[in-house]
Amino acid sequence: MSQEQFLSQEEIQKITAQYDKESNTRFFEGIPLIISRWMCIALTIFVLLINTVWFLSPQVHRTIFVGLMVFFCIMFYPASKKGRNMRNFIPWYDVALAFVGFFAFFYYAYNFKTVVGQMGLYTTQNFVVAIIGIVILFECCRRVVGIPLMVVVGAFLSYAYFGKFIPGNFGHAGYGLQRIFNFLFYTTEGVIGTPTAVCSTFLFIFLLFAAFLEKTGIGQYFIDLANAVAGRAVGGPAKVAVIASALEGTISGSSVANTVGSGSFTIPMMKKLGYKPHFAAAVEACASTGGQIVPPIMGAAAFIMAEITGIAYTRIILAALIPAMLYFTGVFFAVHFEAKKLGLRGMPSEEIPRLFRLIREKGHLLLAVFSIVFFLSIGFSITRSALYAILTAIAFSMIRKDTRMSVTSFFDALEKGARNCIGVGIACAMAGMIVGVVTMTGLGLTFAGELQRIASGIDSEMLRMLAALALCMVASIVLGMGVPTTANYVIMATVTAPIVIQLGLPMLVAHMFVFYFGIVADITPPVALASYAGAAIARSNPMMTCVTATRIGIAAFIVPFIFAFNPEILFLNPLVPASSPDYYHVFAPVLTMLQVSGSAVIGMAGVAAAMTGFMSVRLRWWERILILIGGFCLIIPGSLSDATGLVLIGGVYILQRRRIPEGEKRSKVKVT
C-alpha cells in the first residue's frame, strides 16, 4: 500500500479530537508536560489508595472523586478549540474555575457530618455551594463530553422544576430550585449517586487495567490476529476490521476512539481492495461500536450492569455471548456479500502473519484479558479482580522481550488511566442527576404506566409487547445519541429499563435490551459519532456513511427483539419463573439454545443478503423481499415460522445457484 493512503499521526489525533471530546485536550510540552503527567499519576495513586487501604465514607469518597474530576477537566480541557492550539497555556480564569469547582465539592466532603446532621434542612450557604458545583459540572460536561448530554440533563432538570405546568399524567407538583439543587448535590440520589459510586471504584480500576493492557501492545496483536484469521478470505480487510475492532472495542469502551484507532489502518486497506469509501467507513464504525457488546469486558458495561442489577458479573457476560455472536454474524455476512458482489478477493499471502506463530509468540497477552474473568469466577470482588488483573497483565508482559513493559510504560499506563477517567467521571456525575430527577418525580413509573396504557389497546399479547419494546427502542436511541457508553447505559438503566421490566421482561433481559439500543445510537443518524469519525478517515459523505452503517448493523436492531422473545439466547430457562431465586442459576436446555441460535444465524444471513442485494449472484427485487421475509421468520420464535423461513431462503438460494454461470460473468468487477 502506498504511504499516502495511511493517515499521519497528526491527522488521526485531529479526527479523534473532533468526534471524541475526551481527546480534545490542551497541548503541553517541556516542564508543563512533566507536571501534568505526574499530576495524573498522583491522581491514579490516590484513587487506588482510597479503594484499597484508605477507606472513606461513601459520600466523602465520591464527592472528593467528583471534585478531582472537575479540577482535572478544567485544567486539561480548554473552553474552546482555540485553546487547544495554544501550547503550555491555561488562562487565569480557568485556573480559578478549577479551584472553585474543586472546593465546591471539597466543601461537602469537609463538612460532611454537619451537612448530614442538618437532616435535610440545608442553609443558604449550602444552596449557593450546590449551585456553584452543579453549574461548573455542566461546564465540564460541555468541554469533555459534549452538548448532547448537557441538553438531556437540562431537560430533566426543567421537568423537575416546571412539572406543575405540565398537564396530564406526566405533570407533578413541581419542586423549587433550592430543593432540586440540594437534593442532587448532597444526597446519594444525584451527582454522587450510583453512577459516581461505580466510576470511583471498580470502573476507574478497570480503565487502569485497559491502559496497562494497551501498553503490552495488545491492540496491534488483535489486528495481526484478525489478519491471520480472515486476511485470505473474500474481502479480507473488511473481515479483519470486523474481528479486530470487536476485540479492541470490548476493552476500549469508546466507539469513536476504537473507530479512529483501528480504522486508520483498516479503512485505507478496504479502500485499496475496492470497497467504496462510505462502505469501508461504515464497516469500521459498526464493528467498533459492536465491540462494546462483546464479552468478557463489554467496554465496562458488564461491571456497571452487575452493580445496578445485583446479577453476578460472570452470569452477565455469559448472557451476552450469543447476542454478540449474532450481531457480528450479521455484520460479517453483510461484508461477505458486498465483497462477492464487487468480486473482491483477500489480501496477498505475504501480507498475512502466521496464526500459530502469533499464538506462540504473543498468545499470553490474551490470558491477561481473561484473567479478570478468572478472578471473578473464584469469588473475588470486582475491585479486587481488576487489581489482580492489572498485576497479571504486568506479569504476563514480562514473558517475552517484545511485550515486556518498561518502567516508562508502567508510568505511562498510570497516567493514561487517570486521563481516560476524566470524561467518564464527569459523564457519570451528570447521569447521576438524571437518576435523581427520575427518583424525585417518579417519572419512570409514570412513563411505564403510560406505555402500558397505550399498549393495552392492542389485542394480541405479542404485538402489544412488540409495540411497547419498539417505543423503548426509540427512547433508548434518542437518549443515547452523543452520550459516552458508560453514561449512556446508566441513563438507559435508569429511565427505560424499569419500563421494560414493568412490561414483564426479566431484569437481565430488560437491561441487555436497552443497553443494545443505547450503543447503536453511535451509528444511527442524525447523531452518529462513530460513523462520522469513520467518514472523516475514509473521506466519504457522513450521512451516506451513517445510512450504510445502519444497514450493515441492522442486526443490532434485531438481536434485542430476538432475546426479548427468546430468553434462551441469554441462557435463561423459560420454564423457571423469573421471580425464582434460581432463575439466573438454571440454564436453558442445550438443544433449545442451539435451535434458537442456529435459526437466528441463518435468519441474519438472509437479512444481510437482502440488505446487500447479493447472495450467490445479484438478487432480483422480488428475491430480496422473499429472503428478507424468510430471514425475519427464522428470527421469530416458533417451529412454523422457522419452517417458513427455511423454505423461503432455501428456495431463493436454489434459484441463485442455477444462475451462477451467467451471474459470475456479470458481477465480476475489475478493481484498480
pLDDT score recorded for residue 637: 67
Is the pLDDT at 653 greater than 60? The verdict is yes
Neighbours of 54 (CB within 10 A): 10
Is the pLDDT at 672 greater than 60? The verdict is no
pLDDT in tens, 161-215: 999 889 888 888 889 999 999 999 999 989 999 889 888 988 888 888 888 888 8
* Cα gap 295→121, rounded to integer Å: 46
Q: Is 618 helix (H, G, I), strand (E, B) or coil?
A: strand
Report the chain's mean pLDDT, rounded to a whole number: 84
Are the C-beta atoms of residues 630 and 648 closer than 8 Å to each other?
yes
Q: How many CA atoms lie within 13 A of 638 on its CB side?
A: 9
pLDDT score recorded for residue 17: 65
Residue type, 577: P
Vertex 274 angle, CA 273 and 279, to 5°: 110
Q: How many CA atoms lie within 13 A of 185 on its CB side?
A: 32
pLDDT in tens, 29-85: 899 999 999 999 999 999 999 998 888 999 999 999 999 999 999 999 998 877 666
pLDDT score recorded for residue 7: 64
Indicate the helix (H) or strand (E) that contains 611. Answer: helix 590-612
The grid coordinates listed for 295 are 464479552
More confident of the two residues 251 and 276: 276
pTM score, whole prediction = 0.83
* Cα gap 38→456, rounded to integer Å: 59
Residue type, 32: P
pLDDT score recorded for residue 492: 78
Give the pLDDT mean for 637-665: 79
Which of 84, 63, 20, 76 has the alpha carbon at shortest distance from 419?
76
- Can you spell out the DSSP letters for 549-605? HHHHTTHHHHHHHHHHH-GGGGT--TTS-TTSTTTTTSPPPHHHHHHHHHHHHHHHH
Q: Exposure of 309 by Cβ count < 10 A (0-12 exposed, 13-18 middle, 19+ buried)?
A: middle
pLDDT in tens, 317-331: 889 888 988 888 888
* Cα gap 266→286, rounded to integer Å: 13
More confident of the two residues 409 and 299: 409
Residue whose entry in the numeric block shows the C-alpha cell 471524541 = 20
Which of 335, 303, 321, 370 has the alpha carbon at shortest distance from 226?
335
Rounded to 10 degrees, the C-alpha dihedral 426/557/310/213 comes to -60
Residue whose entry in the numeric block shows the C-alpha cell 505511562 = 412
* Cα gap 174→189, rounded to integer Å: 18
Binned at pLDDT 50, 70 and 90, residue 1 comes out as: very low
pLDDT score recorded for residue 666: 47
The grid coordinates listed for 175 are 419542586
For residue 28, what are the CA distances in angstroms to 19, 22, 88, 89, 540? 21, 16, 5, 8, 32
Q: How far is CA 504 from the centre of its chain?
A: 26
Q: Phi-psi bin for 354: left (phi > 0), alpha (psi -120 to 50), beta?
A: beta
Q: Is 614 helix (H, G, I), strand (E, B) or coil?
A: strand
Q: How far apart are the first and last CA of the chain?
A: 13
pLDDT in tens, 570-591: 988 888 887 787 888 888 888 8
Neighbours of 175 (CB within 10 A): 19
Vertex 243 angle, CA 242 and 249, to 5°: 85
Span of 112-121, 167-176, 283-292, 432-441 with lowest mean pLDDT: 112-121
Binned at pLDDT 50, 70 and 90, residue 127 comes out as: very high
Are the C-beta atoms of residues 40 and 91 closer than 8 Å to each other?
no
pLDDT in tens, 328-368: 888 888 888 888 888 777 777 777 888 888 888 888 888 88
The grid coordinates listed for 192 are 454522587
